Amino acid sequence: MVDLRRTGRLIALALVAWSGRARAQACCAGSSAVTPGRLGLHDVALVGVEARAATLVGSFDASGAYRARAPGTLEDDLEQDLFASYRVFRHAQVALLVPFVETARRAGNASDAGGGIGDVNLSARYDFFQAGRSRWLPGVALLAGVTFPSGRPVGPDTGPLAAGATGVGAFQLNGGLALEQAWGPWLVSLYGLVAARTPFELAGVSETLAPQVSALASVGYVTAREIAVALSASVTYEGNPVVDGATVPDTEKITSSLALGAVLPIGDHWRAQLAMTWNPPVLGQNAIAAAGFTWTLVRTWY
């Protein structure tokens, strides 16, 4: 794929054809650097495996103050995801993600490790309008999903430091919108998501987690060799939970994250992806801060 800045040597018809391809390429490859399970414009299905590794670097207290990891404190998180996506019809696709989670923690003289299957997610996406079809109107997509409580929530059986916990313990319903626009090899994306969780009971205590609101922005670029890179930033806010009918004060959560990802095509049907993630020491509350890597391998059909 050539850069649009070089198309001045082409005739008008070729210029139109190349610019359309560049926008489509930016939309597909650029978005894959942020959402690896998303189908491209001409993909019918895909399957993939993803491996994540992250380590604790600090934490935020209830006032939002950041503290670096204390000596003798450790948290290492591993996750392996199996996912698949299928195009139901031209503008709609569904995806399934099955995570496996492992955690190791140490605090003072106490240490703990555990893991297992996490909360399985089923999601759908409907594109009303594709990015790049208009210079002024962005692509618009409706997002929806449900996360099942297949993981193990925090409880008496998850260890002294809760390292055996692999899930939230509640159904989670998600909905949101995605806006995308492509300019030549560039793609800009904005995502907004809202999640509501059902009440659940643990050890005789009823708990309802507050709704969760997330926003994500990303900028992607596709090179002439169809290698895509993307930089993204996200913020998630979660209010105070309700335990046994009473709101627990000063427990709301804020998490911010930065990610730098890249997609490398391997032949016509395979692609490899790598991302670095980091929770910066700003804009956090009642949350940990970690740094890590993600490796992904995807096989597509079209």
pLDDT in tens, 94-152: 999 999 999 999 998 899 999 999 999 999 999 998 887 887 889 999 999 999 999 99
CATH number of 4-301, picked from 2.40.160.40, 3.40.50.2000, 3.40.640.10, 2.60.120.10: 2.40.160.40
pLDDT number for residue 125: 94
Q: Which of 162, 164, 168 is nearest to 147 (CA)?
A: 168
Q: What is the pTM of this model?
A: 0.85
Instruction: Assign 199 to helix, strand or coil.
Output: coil
Domain spans in the chain, listed from the N-terminal domain onward: 4-301
Q: Is the pLDDT of residue 251 over 60?
A: yes
Q: Which of 181, 173, 269, 193 is nearest to 218 (CA)?
A: 181
CA-CA distances (angstroms) from residue 92 to 39, 89, 172, 186, 271?
10, 5, 21, 24, 22
